[in-house]
Structure 1
Amino acid sequence: MVGSPSAVPLPVPLPRRPPVPDDGVRRWYEEELGWETAPGAPVRLVVGHRFDVLDLPLEAGLAALRHLGPASPVAVRADRMRVLVAAGSAEELPGLLEWLEWGALDLDLVGLGAGAVTDAPAPPEGVIVRTGAKGLRTGGVGSQGAAVWLRPPVPGREVEPSLPTLSALGGRGEAPDLVRLVSTAATQCHRLRLRRACARPSVLS
């Protein structure tokens, strides 16, 4: 039996396109910053060549940055923060946590190094990315849940020399050295862990 006209299904709306096409974002990272991107969509940055990443809870990361002052590029996605550090730092992280006497605790502080990728945040607000012959100005915000820059990299300026690294001189430029960064981040991750544990309702057996 043929259904009535009222039973005709409504057209499905097309998915919303991102404010800046992927090819423009990819071009900005590769040509303006010289950073390698992974094939496919969405655009992801290859970790371990130009930089590594420290991944930690957003709340702990914000508290750590308040203590550290100026730092290297920092991205945020949902409730996670990703701090760019010198390439090779992820490999040093477990030993560094042991040396700082944090190794026995689950701090939710993770290092991403060679072989990893991380989401490419939308270019900062006002940046013009080239898509073919056209140039589109970014709005500085991605779609819901997408990564965004809290402290973006600056095109035309070498990012790598200012990234936190192991250094007997206490870091380079304005960036803290890796020991200080990891120590501060681990402390804030531990404090967050304790606050969350205290906030859980106790279960009486």
Structure 2
Amino acid sequence: MVGSVPARVPPVPPVPFPRRPLTPSDDEVRHWYENALGWPTVPGDPVRLAVGVLFDVLDVPAEAGRAALERLGRGLGPGLERLGPGLGPGPGRPGHAFPVAVRGGRMRLLVAAGSAEELPGLLDWLEWGALELDLAAIGAGGSMEAPRWVASGLAEPGARLPGSGAGDPCPVGSRARPLPPCRDGSQGAAVWLRPPEPGREVEASLPTLSAMGTRSALGDGGGPPDLVRLVSTVATQVHRVRLRRGCAATRADGQPLAFS
């Protein structure tokens, strides 16, 4: 008796477990800002942070902002000056780590609420008012894109956020866990260069006007750095970037370029 040979059925491949998307959803991002940080957001997608409530924003060219942070960071110790004030971990500097974000070629420096209104008069007082500077302030009624990434290497899983205490690891896995580190494909999106810290009031870490502008660039007694010194340094670097680019353009086309 000849029997038929059953057809071979190919093995069914195992069903992989669903992977958590690398990019946090808008709901996750909004939950993190509103619940872990207590920051108000603006209705709608993508998620935007309400400005003028807890903080204002200085918007500057990223090149100038990095140069300003490097200049202000000198004196923190070997290897830390390139990070800017507060990026290097260590005791005794809890008030210097004010949050900083970048998006494309722009840097956003978080400063004390009300600083946007002070900026025009402050620039005049510092004798920068006569020049057109690529420096803007966002204040009450404004908003900024909510960064959903932290610059790679600053908040890897289990790492400590810059400026946190030596015994305060990031609460990864909890509701207050930090946003994920930057991955490929996030170019052009807003990211935290210096992220805010869950459980810490942001107002205490922000640059603000001190009485008569006497607070030093690195703060006074662990407090936030002085807004006058910050604006002066940023304005200087913004102007230097403008002059440098102008000189480069002059060399490229051979035509003289006049600066006001």
Pairs within 5 Å for 1:92-131: 92-124=118-150, 125=155, 126=157, 128=173
Q: Does 1:46 align with 2:50?
A: yes
Q: Does 1:165 align with 2:208?
A: yes
Other-structure match for 2:254: 202
Measured after TM superposition, the shift of residue 106 of structure 1 is: 1.2
Measured after TM superposition, the shift of residue 203 of structure 1 is: 3.4
Other-structure match for 1:77: 103
Check the 8 A contact 1:123/1:138 in 2, yes or no: yes
TM-score using structure 2 length = 0.66
Check the 8 A contact 1:28/1:129 in 2, yes or no: no
Check the 8 A contact 2:58/2:108 in 1, yes or no: yes
Runs of 5+ unmatched residues, structure 1? 1-16
Worse-superposed segment, 160-169 or 120-129: 120-129
Other-structure match for 1:90: 116
| Structure 1 Cα separation of the partners of residues 40 and 177 of structure 2 | 21
| Structure 1 Cα separation of the partners of residues 122 and 63 of structure 2 | 22
Q: For residue 180 of structure 1, what is the amino acid of its counterpart?
A: R
Q: Does 1:144 align with 2:208?
A: no
Residue aligned with 1:154, SS: coil
User: After superposition, what is the alpha-carbon deviation per residue over 1:27-61, rounded to whole angstroms, capped at 9, x for unaligned?
Assistant: 00000111000111111100000000000000000
Residue aligned with 1:25, SS: helix
More strand by share: 1
Residue aligned with 2:28, SS: helix
| Structure 2 Cα separation of the partners of residues 113 and 139 of structure 1 | 28
Percent identity at matched positions?
65
Q: 1:128 to 1:89 in 2, by over 3 A?
A: farther
Q: Does 1:30 align with 2:34?
A: yes
| Structure 2 Cα separation of the partners of residues 83 and 140 of structure 1 | 19
| Structure 2 Cα separation of the partners of residues 140 and 79 of structure 1 | 19
Residue aligned with 2:188, SS: coil
Residue aligned with 1:32, SS: helix
Check the 8 A contact 2:133/2:235 in 1, yes or no: yes
| Structure 2 Cα separation of the partners of residues 180 and 192 of structure 1 | 18
Q: Does 1:64 align with 2:68?
A: yes
| Cα RMSD (Å) | 2.2
Measured after TM superposition, the shift of residue 136 of structure 1 is: 9.0
| Structure 2 Cα separation of the partners of residues 137 and 114 of structure 1 | 26
| Structure 1 Cα separation of the partners of residues 31 and 148 of structure 2 | 12
| Structure 2 Cα separation of the partners of residues 138 and 93 of structure 1 | 31
Q: For residue 96 of structure 1, what is the amino acid of its counterpart?
A: L
Q: 1:137 to 1:160 in 2, by over 3 A?
A: closer
Runs of 5+ unmatched residues, structure 2? 1-20, 74-84, 86-96, 158-171
Measured after TM superposition, the shift of residue 18 of structure 1 is: 6.8
